[in-house]
Each structure stands twice: as structure tokens, then as C-alpha cells.
Structure 1
Amino acid sequence: MLDSFLLRAALAGVGLALACAPLGCFVVWRRMAYYGDATAHAALLGVALSLALSVPLFPAVIVVALAMAAVVAGMSGRHAPDTLLGVLSHGALAAGLVAVSFLEGVRSDLMGYLFGDILAVTRADLALIWGGAVVVGGLIAWRWSALLLATLSPEMAASEGISPRAEQWVLNIALALVVAAGIRIVGAVLIGAMLIIPAAAARPLARTPEAMAVATAVIGSAAALGGLAGAWHLDTPAGPTIICAAAVLFAVTSAAAGVKRLLPA
């Protein structure tokens, strides 16, 4: 059954959407969109490290993503957050591109690392993606209450014995896992969009955090399947088409929310 490359691509897209859903909600709630981009762009350095040292891609990307988180934590307070993340995001992307360009036989695959190649997903990739989704889902479910409290009120969380910094590292680890799993599907440039857009699209539809997480998973899965269908019929790149589908769903939910506000109660 998994011999069909389209079926493998669909399963990979849904798996990534499920992994991104709860994490994307916290990225939106905490206004960490640029942080997600910085982590994803740093993944290219992990690609270069993996190829240069002939080590598996997944752990190499995780190590670099966590190193980026440590750098951000260490430099926080010295610069405005948006300035710091802007420098690190673009700097990491440029450094990754330069590092990859030095490796022989890799330049032809550079577009795949940047924008992914979901149609080339293998059974081993599927196992990695769904395994990562299970780990991320379990991690977020385990820390859900603490993460919510630390997000809504760090001061109240601290008074309850919850460390906001420790909860931030839970998100950092989960984000590194998602980036490492998603780089094969939508690439380093677009993985941040897959985290942010479905969650932003789900926000007008949900009244509780849990409902928003579920709605995000549904919208992300719909974007993955709809984007694949669009890429198949229009002969367009699959990864960017998936993100376009997510953006369309965001426009639809935003418009629906706007119309609802205009209607009399």
C-alpha cells in the first residue's frame, strides 16, 4: 500500500501537520513566529554538518536547532528581540547556504533542502515523521497545563513553582524535532510557515486552547492534502503549493471572522 509515492506524500504531510499543530499554537500565542523562522533557517547548517561529517540528518539538525535556541537565550536582553532574531535568522540561512555550497555534489540538491521534496519521501522518512509527531505530541500533552500557564502569565507560573524558562526549553526541543522532521517535506524556508499559518487560520474558529489545537491540526492536514492535489493537477512544486493552500485557508477563516463581526448579534 505504501508503494504509491502520492500516498506516502499524503501521510507525510498529515504527519507533519499533526506535529506542527500544538506547537504552532504556542508559537502564535507567544508571538514566536520569527523565532520559528530562525530555528528553521539554522537547519541548513545542520544539513551542511550532516553532509560534511557523514552523519544522519535528523540528529544533526536537532543539535544545530538547539544551539540556535541557546544562542538566542544567551543574547536576549542585549538587543531588541526582533532585531536579534532577524540577524540570527538571516545570518543562519546565509551561513547554511554558503556551507552547503562548499560540499561537492550537493548544489543540485540545494532546492530540496530549501523547499523540500515531499514526493520523494520514503518509508523510513514516514517512520521518522510520524515518530517525531508522536514524541512532540506526547511532550506537549505532558507539559500542556504548565506551558499554558507560563504562556498566559509567567509571573503566576513562577508563583505556582513552574519555571517559565524550563517551559521555553520544552518548546525549543519540540520545535527542533519538528524542524528536523519537516525539512524533508517543505524545506528549511517553508517549515516556519507550516508552523504559523494553520495556527493563525484556526485562531478565529476556536474559543479554547484545546479547540484551537484541534482546529490547527485539521487545517494543517487539509492544507497538506489540498496542496498535494493542487500540485498534482497544476504541475507546481509540492512544498510551496501546500503553504499556498494553508494561506488560502487563513484568508477564508479571517474573512469568515470579519463577516461574523459585522453581523448583528
Structure 2
Amino acid sequence: MIDILLFALMAGLLVAAACGPLGALVTWQRMAYYGDTLAHSALLGLALGLALQANLQYSVLFTCLFIATVLFALQWWRNIALDSLLGILSHSSLALGLVCLSFIDNQSVDLNAFLFGDLLAILSEDLVNLAIICALVLALLWRYWPALVAISAHAELAEIEGLAVKRLRLLLMLMVAATVAVAMKIVGVLLITAMLIIPASAAARVARSPEQAALLATLVGAIAVCGGLAGAWYWDTPAGPSIVLTAGCLFVLGQFAPGYRRSN
């Protein structure tokens, strides 16, 4: 039982570490709905994995990366509004995934675990895969953080200064896609966006710099993981929703903290 709790805690903290800075970048660029789109496409990856009898985690990962690439290509190729593209791809991929799942007999997976997460069912193999993806994402964030902050603050000015804005946005989309794919087993398809948005939104209240916002978002996510796991362990509540609920409570509490007023 201790191993189960330890694996769950380590997995949750890894996700919090990746979602903290990524969530800050996503909220700054007003891409909150982007996480939902990728989460919905994860169901399509699940259906493809079951149909092809492939590794489900890899199937979901490649599908999320593919959808992120398609979204980026459509946005720049046809110059379609981002919110429209997100809505189209989100509902289309979700519908296609559900239709594909309806044709698969004798499903050997618990769909509720993918929808709402099953943190206490994390295995050592899942933890290794999660650690690899999160380490890669954090390394890329460390390398490109100043540039990603610059395009979030003012994309046009960043492009004038010589930054490859399109490539950086594609990199951000792919990092979010990878994080969503590997975190799906922890908080579920329906809740993964909350781990990106809620901690970052709570941190934005008191953060004085982009770096501080990222660190505080990670801290809020880590506290939410510990609180959610405690609820799941002691009161047998579902782990994924408990984590999100804890994060939501932290966000509400944060609204009573003295905010940092930026000078004009």
C-alpha cells in the first residue's frame, strides 16, 4: 500500500511540475480551451490504441501530438481564428473517439479511469514514462523560457526582435500535448485542463514576475496533489477530482491574498 501511495505522489508531483509553467504560458496567451481540445482528442487516441491493440499511453501521446500539429498548421495555413479551430477540433475528435469506441467489443479498459483519472493505479512503468516526458518538457521550458515569455507578452514585438514566433508556438503546443497525454491517467480527460489553468490562475494573483508565477503555479499544483491524495486515501474519494477540487479551493483562498499591483 505504501508503494501505491508513493507512486501516486511522485506521479502527481511530476505533473504539477510540468503543468505549473505550462499553465502560466497557456493562460497568458489565452489558450485555456486548448487543453480541453487535446484532452478530448485523447479519447480518439484511446480508441485507436484499442483497435490496433497498441500501447494505450503511446497511442494517446502520438494522437495528441498529431492533433496539436494539425491545429498549428490550420491556424497559420488558413488564418482561421484560434477559438473556432479549438471548438471544431475539440468536438470533432471527441465525437470521432466516442464513435470508434462504440465499434470496439470487449473493451478491456475502464473508461471512467481515463475520464476522471486513476492516480492510485499508477504503475512503475507509467511513472517512468511520465518522468521521461516531464523531464523533457521541463528541459525545453528551461531552454526556451525567455523566448516563450516574450511571445506571450507581445508576439509582434518578439517577431521584430528576431524570435521565431511560429516555431515557438508550435513547441508550446507540442509540450502541452505531451503533458496532457501523460497526465490523463492521473486526473483524467475531463479534468486535465483544470491542472493547467487553476494553479496558474491562483499564482497570477500574487506573482511579481513570470518566473515567480511559474514557481507558484507549480507549488499550488503540488499542494493540490497532496491534498487530493489525502482525501482519496482517508475518505476514499476519487483522486483526480479531489486534486482539482483542492486546487479550486486554493484558487478561492488566493483571491483573499493581497495582490500585486503592477505600475502603469
| TM-score normalised by structure 2 residue count | 0.91
- Matching residue of 2:218: 217
CA shift for structure 1 position 82? 2.5
Single out whichever of 226-235 and 99-108 deviates more from structure 2: 99-108
TM alignment of 1:1-265, pairs within 5 A? 4-76=3-75, 79-106=80-107, 109-257=110-258
Q: Deviations over 1:81-123 (max 9, x none)?
A: 3233223222222322222232222276111111111110001
Output the CA distance in 2 between the equivalents of 1:144 and 1:229.
33
CA shift for structure 1 position 80? 4.0
Structure 2: give runs of 5+ residues left out of the alignment. none
For these two proteins, the number of residue pairs brought into alignment is: 259
SS of residue paired to 1:106: coil
Letter of the aligned partner of 2:5 in structure 1? L
* Kept in 1: contact 2:65–2:178 (CA 8 A): no
Output the CA distance in 1 between the equivalents of 2:158 and 2:166.
11
SS of residue paired to 2:186: coil
After superposition, the Cα gap between the structure-2 partners of 1:152 and 1:183, relative to the gap in structure 1 and judged at 3 Å, is same
CA shift for structure 1 position 66? 2.4
Output the CA distance in 2 between the equivalents of 1:176 and 1:66.
6
Letter of the aligned partner of 2:149 in structure 1? L
* Kept in 2: contact 1:61–1:176 (CA 8 A): no
* Kept in 2: contact 1:132–1:178 (CA 8 A): yes
Q: Deviations over 1:113-166 (max 9, x none)?
A: 111111100011111112211111001111111111111111222122211110
Letter of the aligned partner of 1:24 in structure 2? G
* Kept in 2: contact 1:8–1:121 (CA 8 A): yes
Output the CA distance in 1 between the equivalents of 2:226 and 2:206.
20
SS of residue paired to 2:64: helix
SS of residue paired to 1:148: helix
Output the CA distance in 2 between the equivalents of 1:255 and 1:249.
10
Output the CA distance in 2 between the equivalents of 1:97 and 1:204.
38
Output the CA distance in 2 between the equivalents of 1:86 and 1:175.
17
After superposition, the Cα gap between the structure-2 partners of 1:155 and 1:56, relative to the gap in structure 1 and judged at 3 Å, is same
Output the CA distance in 2 between the equivalents of 1:115 and 1:73.
27
SS of residue paired to 1:255: coil
Output the CA distance in 1 between the equivalents of 2:198 and 2:212.
16
* Kept in 2: contact 1:19–1:132 (CA 8 A): no
SS of residue paired to 1:188: coil
| RMSD of aligned Cα (Å) | 2.0
* Kept in 2: contact 1:101–1:107 (CA 8 A): no
SS of residue paired to 2:255: helix
| TM-score normalised by structure 1 residue count | 0.91
SS of residue paired to 1:143: helix
